[in-house]
A and B are shown apart, each in its own frame.
Chain A
Amino acid sequence: MADPMRIRAQAAGDKATVRVLMSHEMESGQRKDATGNIVPAWFIQEVTATLNGKVVLTGEWGPAVSKNPFLQFTIKGAKAGDKVGVTWKDNKGDSRTDEATVS
């Protein structure tokens, strides 16, 4: 199973800034290992963010995103106490969902 994400969400005024750190290898499928074989591609394909269960952001990611990616975005109208959820799904079908409370 994948390692947990770190999600920080901070409200300021009428919006909240969300910072997400995901733990993922993000193999591009272009690299070769020591024996010359191609390391199979393994990367996050879908990212979804929710605010109190309602989808506020979706993204399609590719192999160009770095290892252990960092994502930052703002949600309008989010206030302290709201729940922000982030889900990713990779090309191997693995997925991970984590939740944080806006502070």
Chain B
Amino acid sequence: MKSKTCVSLLLIFGFSAGVFAQKSAVQSIEEYRAMLQDGNPSDLFEAKGEDLWKQKRGPKKVSLEQCDLGKGPGVVKGVFTELPRFFADTNRVQDLESRLLTCMETLQGLSAADIAKTPFGKGEQNNLTALATWISAESKGMKFNLSQAHPQERTFFEVGKRLFFQRGGPHDFSCATCHGQDEKRIRLQDLPNLTKNPGDGVGFAAWPAYRVSNGQMWGMQQRLNDCYRQQRFPYPGFGSDATIALAVYLGVNSQGSASVAPAIKR
């Protein structure tokens, strides 16, 4: 009888020691991220993007230096945290990547439709991502402040919000199914609640990002299109109104949060 008690006591001690020694999953991931932070390969894409911005390219042999991203021709600093916004010349709401596409067509003579059709990670799409990476880096640490002054901007917000909650696909789920509650995760991946402001450097404020697991640089357009793929939907398309509307919804929700883009992801 006496020896039996001893054994069970040992077991209890054994278990509790195990619990204390184990780091929580979140802590381990944080450690891993901190280790990666020092050598974020998005630096390489930034350098490439900056070079592309100044390079004379396309049939017209012109650089993008006269591109108007919302703060006047050639202004790069601070534009990222105010996009997507309404542009009078194209008469539509555009995010960074679709706006760059417009500039590549009007200034350089490249075909925007052809680039939009190019699969992610191929040809000109890579250049577009590098450009977006550099431009986002120029606004690193700045706070999101999207305009909602133009009626179209308000329409896009409303449409984005509805798309966010629209359930569909073979699994019948929406963006909100995974991103509508606090403190949820899929396996080890934390899921930010994107129906409200997720805070500095989370969600909308963390893309473009370098993904360590596949060694790819992703812009927001690829991120959003891939969300639809995960929902078992076809891609809405690069620079489509649907993805831009979602970006407006997420961007407006992130009002006042600081951008950490280009970020590094698992």
Contact = CB atoms under 8 A, between A and B. Distances in A.
Interface of A: 3-4, 6, 19, 21, 23, 66-68, 70, 72
A4 B45 CA distance: 10
Interface of B: 38-39, 41, 43-44, 47-48, 212, 215
Contacts of B47: 3-4, 6
A72 B38 contact: yes
Contact of B44 (A19, A68, A72): A68
Nearest to A26: B215
Nearest to B43: A6
Closest 8 CB pairs of A and B: A70-B39, A67-B215, A68-B41, A23-B44, A6-B43, A21-B39, A21-B43, A21-B44
Contacts of B38: 19, 70, 72
Contacts of A72: 38-39
Given A4-B47, A19-B38, A68-B44, 9 more contacts: A3-B44, A3-B47, A6-B43, A19-B39, A21-B43, A23-B41, A67-B41, A67-B215, A68-B215
Contacts of A19: 38-39
A25 to B, nearest CB: 8
Contacts of A67: 41, 215
A3 B43 CA distance: 12
Contacts of B44: 3, 6, 21, 23, 68
Contacts of A3: 44, 47-48
Nearest to B40: A21
27 contacts: A3-B44, A3-B47, A3-B48, A4-B47, A6-B43, A6-B44, A6-B47, A19-B38, A19-B39, A21-B39, A21-B41, A21-B43, A21-B44, A23-B41, A23-B44, A66-B212, A66-B215, A67-B41, A67-B215, A68-B41, A68-B44, A68-B215, A70-B38, A70-B39, A70-B41, A72-B38, A72-B39
